Amino acid sequence: MLNTLSGRFLILTIVFVMLAEVLIFVPSIASFREDYLLNRLERAQIASLALLADDMLETELEAELLENAGVFNVVLRRDELRQLMLASPIPQPISSTFDLRDPGAMMLIRDALTRMIKPKNEIIRVIGAPVREAGLLIEVTMETAPLRTAMIDYGVRILALSAVISIFTAVLLFAAVRVFLVRPIKGVVSYMKRYASAPEDARGIIQPSAGVVELREAEEALQQLQIELTHALKQKERLAQLGGAVARVSHDLRNILTSAILFTDRIESSEDPLVRRLAPKLVNAITRAVSLCESTLAFGRAEEAAPTLTLFPLANVVTDVIDSERLAMENGSVSMSSDIDPNLIVRGDPEQLFRVFLNLVRNSRQAIVATNKPATITVSAHEDDENWWITVNDTGPGLPARAQEHLFTPFQGGARKGGSGLGLAISADLVRGHGGTLTLKSTGQGGTTFEICLPKDDGTI
């Protein structure tokens, strides 16, 4: 109960209301004390007026008047003359004098609190203005025990009333919190539990209905999150199914390509010079296709093979990529070139880096061909003491905003219609396997530049 939102709110409400009542209690008890003393002055004045009406009051009647007024004696000043009107023996000396003709609020509060915490019975003198201006002043002497008892009784009644008000207010607020806050929150929690048990069930998506603005905003945010998560789960399921299909296709395609390699032996024995020149490239292309199928199967099992690092001339791999893409071009609108020192040796897996360069160059070529405008693609490289830097630059149309947002995300970063976005995602993964990075340096109307960084450090300690 106390660990719930409504329970804690109930306790806090009682505490804060009681605190407010305490702050009200202090000036209230001071006001009560002032009224008490003024009442005694008024009674004393009435008693003194009775004496003025008859100067020969009996001693018993005078004592009764003083007892009814609650004082020991009464002094009335009229016409600049100070006159002892009623008197009786004072049991002890006067300890304090209080003037009520023009008291300050803080002084009244201080005197009231002092009297509350001071249990000793004392004799005090109280001075005030007579009622209806029946003189210049009136003063009485009285004991403090009845005053303190009356103040305590009044304080107990005030605190009891405060407790009742606090509890009543807290119960009302408790009920309001349960209706307007706890119940909607429990509704949100139940929706979350229902959605967690069956995220694919659209009925578990919350429908915002709260009247409180903040709770409605929370419900709307939860609804948006559930919709996006449901969409992502469905997409993940479709991707899993697609991955299974791709794995099966890759398996069969690998077998077909393996058979195709057997036929290339006869092609290489052809006397046609063109066939003899293109046959090795065909063999290399089919071999790489087989390797790609095997890698796809490994990717489907989330087991991309680790790169086999060797030292090799980078220019040879880049030249193979450019030659392969030139054969795929239907026209000469795209100019491709390599600006790499033939003596530049890098450490890496030639087959995996071939796939990286092929994806980057092919993406650039396809983007340029789609514009029907001439452009160039240049692959360059340089090195420093710690890294090899390979740059693939084109003067094409640049990447669209959507492609930049999900650049290396599979099935979301496609830059052209019908593209899957797998090329860049796989390329980035292969480069990371070398301990390097693949980054988009720039893109825009002036073209696009990708940069590959391969560390020279072989990772040994």
Summarised one tens digit per residue, pLDDT across range 234-273 is 777 766 666 666 666 665 666 566 656 656 666 666 667 7
Asked whether residue 412 carries a pLDDT value surpassing 60, the answer given is no
Tracing tokens 């009229």 back to the chain, one arrives at 78
Question: How large is the angle between the packed helices 145-177 and 5-53, nearest 10 degrees?
Answer: 150
How confident is the model over 404-431, as a mean pLDDT? 67
How confident is the model over 154-164, as a mean pLDDT? 82
| DSSP 8-state symbol, 369 | H
In a domain, 331, yes or no: yes
d(CA 286, CA 278): 12
Task: Give the domain CATH number at 428.
Answer: 3.30.565.10
Which one of 145, 170, 195 terminates a domain? 170
- What angle is formed at CA 180 by the lines to CA 176 and CA 182, rounded to 5 degrees? 95
Asked whether residue 401 carries a pLDDT value surpassing 90, the answer given is no
pLDDT digits (tens, 9 = 90+) for 438-448: 999 999 888 99
Domain that holds residue 151: 5-170
In a domain, 204, yes or no: no
Q: Phi/psi zone of residue 156: left (φ > 0), alpha (ψ -120 to 50 degrees), beta? A: alpha
In a domain, 430, yes or no: yes
What local confidence, expressed as pLDDT, does residue 53 receive?
A: 52
The answer to whether residues 16 and 160 belong to one domain is: yes
Strands 447-455 and 387-394, bridge-based pairing: antiparallel
Which one of 170, 195, 228 terminates a domain? 170
pTM score, two decimals?
A: 0.41
Which one of 151, 170, 189 terminates a domain? 170
Nearest to 79 by CA among 141, 134, 11: 134
What local confidence, expressed as pLDDT, does residue 51 receive?
A: 59
User: Chain-wide mean pLDDT for the chain?
Assistant: 78
In a domain, 259, yes or no: no
The runs of H, that is alpha helices, within 341-436 are: 350-371, 401-405, 422-433
In a domain, 196, yes or no: no
In a domain, 237, yes or no: no
d(CA 27, CA 20): 12
How confident is the model over 425-438, as a mean pLDDT? 88
Number of domains the chain is built from: 2
The answer to whether residues 166 and 313 belong to one domain is: no
Percent of residues, the chain, with pLDDT higher than 90: 15
Of 208-212, 294-298, 310-314, 383-387, which gets the smallest average pLDDT? 294-298
d(CA 292, CA 361): 17
How confident is the model over 211-224, as a mean pLDDT? 80
Asked whether residue 52 carries a pLDDT value surpassing 70, the answer given is no
How confident is the model over 60-89, as a mean pLDDT? 72
Distances (CA, A) of 131 to 40, 59, 78, 150: 12, 26, 13, 23
| DSSP 8-state symbol, 396 | S
303 or 450, higher pLDDT: 450
d(CA 459, CA 202): 49
In a domain, 96, yes or no: yes
Q: Position 279: which residue type?
A: A
Spatial contact of 458 and 436, defined as CB atoms under 8 Å apart: no
Which residues make beta-bridge pairs with 73?
A: 141
Asked whether residue 419 carries a pLDDT value surpassing 50, the answer given is no
| DSSP 8-state symbol, 200 | T
pLDDT digits (tens, 9 = 90+) for 89-134: 888 888 888 888 888 888 888 888 888 888 888 888 888 887 766 5
| DSSP 8-state symbol, 430 | H
Spatial contact of 221 and 227, defined as CB atoms under 8 Å apart: no
pLDDT digits (tens, 9 = 90+) for 347-360: 999 999 998 999 89
